[in-house]
Amino acid sequence: MTSLSTVEFENVHKSYGKKHAVDGMSMRVEQGEVLCLLGPNGAGKSTAINMMLGLIKPDSGKVRLFGEDPGMSAARAQIGVIPQDTDFPPALKSREIIELVRSHYAQPIAVDQLIEAFLLEGIIDRYTSGFSGGERRRLALALAFCGNGKAIFLDEPTTGLDQKSRQAFWEYARDYAGNGASFIITTHHLDEIENIATRICLLVDGKIRYSGSADEIRSKVNRRKIRFFSNQKPEIKGHLVEDAGDGRWQINSSDSDVVVRNIIQRKIEFSALEILPCTLEEAVDTLFEDQTSNTTGA
């Protein structure tokens, strides 16, 4: 049995005037994958996602959603999308909005279940006009999931959420993904997706520059943090020493052995030396720097 990819891009191009928003992108998102799209503003993330959703037609190339043209109802019946900007109809209550969206799907999630998952108890029977940013976001998330879709599209899902709602949301999302659903996520909070994303794609100038798991990205970058306490700022040739506060210093390096040897040879007084792997965010930043310098150099 062959199973259809959730999303299929084949040499997709889309320009606005002279700007190539998406420039020959090819990729697949398989069922059960949690894909995170990263990139600076204008890298083509929104354009790519809008094409996956059938809101924009590509200039050339092929886009498929569950094997169908993304504009087709059969494809759209299988997805859930988080509303952007979230200006809901002011004269409707949360429950009425959720029920309106649910009514479009064959096997929607029960409203009570959504209330529990997205902490909606206090806002379910209220008009949305007085909602805080976090309350709007929780309702928006409930709308993305309420259709029980096989693929969920989340653009900056946790913006405006407090710590508790954030945790509750990712917990729910992990369970949901565990049941075989795919996610396509864009976010700036890399620490949050580290444990859920199965693949991360870096977009620069409308092209996928790198694609891999969080671990692959970290090992590709191979950068470590060396931290220690010292009474005065140490000088280490060829390395930038950052002040980490409270008499602590930090050096980022792709060769931590050389740095440590250097510290000892120079007889620098130190204590509590640590060598730490870089975070995903730091690894991604490094990759982006390399990519941009490559493109400007070329």
Q: Which is nearer to another protein, 26 or 103 (CB)?
A: 103
The DSSP bridge partners found for residue 107 are: none
Q: Which is nearer to another protein, 37 or 56 (CB)?
A: 56
- Would you say the C-alpha torsion 44, 45, 48, 50 has a positive or negative sign? negative
Give the Cα separation of 273 and 263 in Å (integer): 10
Minimum distance of another protein from residue 96's CB (angstroms): 6
CA 259 to chain centre: 33
Q: Which is nearer to another protein, 96 or 156 (CB)?
A: 96
Q: Which is nearer to another protein, 103 or 231 (CB)?
A: 103
Q: Which is nearer to another protein, 65 or 226 (CB)?
A: 65
Minimum distance of another protein from residue 53's CB (angstroms): 5
Structure token digits, residue 50: 């809008």
Contact 50, 56 (CB under 8 A): yes
Structure token digits, residue 58: 């590509």
Binding residues among 72-101 for another protein as defined by CB under 8 A: 73-74, 76-77, 79, 81, 83-89, 91-92, 96-97, 99-101
How many chain residues are in contact with another protein, going by CB under 8 A? 32
Give the Cα separation of 120 and 206 in Å (integer): 38
Residue 144: what residue type?
A
**Phi-psi sector, 71: left (phi>0), alpha (psi -120 to 50), beta:** alpha
Q: Which is nearer to another protein, 103 or 219 (CB)?
A: 103
Contact 224, 277 (CB under 8 A): yes
Instruction: Write the binding mask 142 to 171 for another protein: x where contact by CB under 8 A, - elsewhere.
Output: -x----------------------------
Which residue, among 215, 184, 199, has the nearest Cα to 280 in the 3D structure?
215
Q: Which is nearer to another protein, 41 or 73 (CB)?
A: 73
Find the binder of another protein among 35, 37, 53, 226 (CB under 8 A).
Answer: 53
CB contact set of 60 (below 8 Å; sequence gap of 6+): 11, 12, 13
Q: Considering only CA atoms, give the Rg of the chain.
A: 23
Q: Any contact of residue 61 with another protein (CB under 8 A)? A: no
Minimum distance of another protein from residue 31's CB (angstroms): 19
Instruction: Write the binding mask 103 to 142 for another protein: x where contact by CB under 8 A, - elsewhere.
Output: xxxx------------------------------------
Which residues in this chain contact another protein in the complex, by CB under 8 A?
50, 53-57, 73-74, 76-77, 79, 81, 83-89, 91-92, 96-97, 99-106, 143
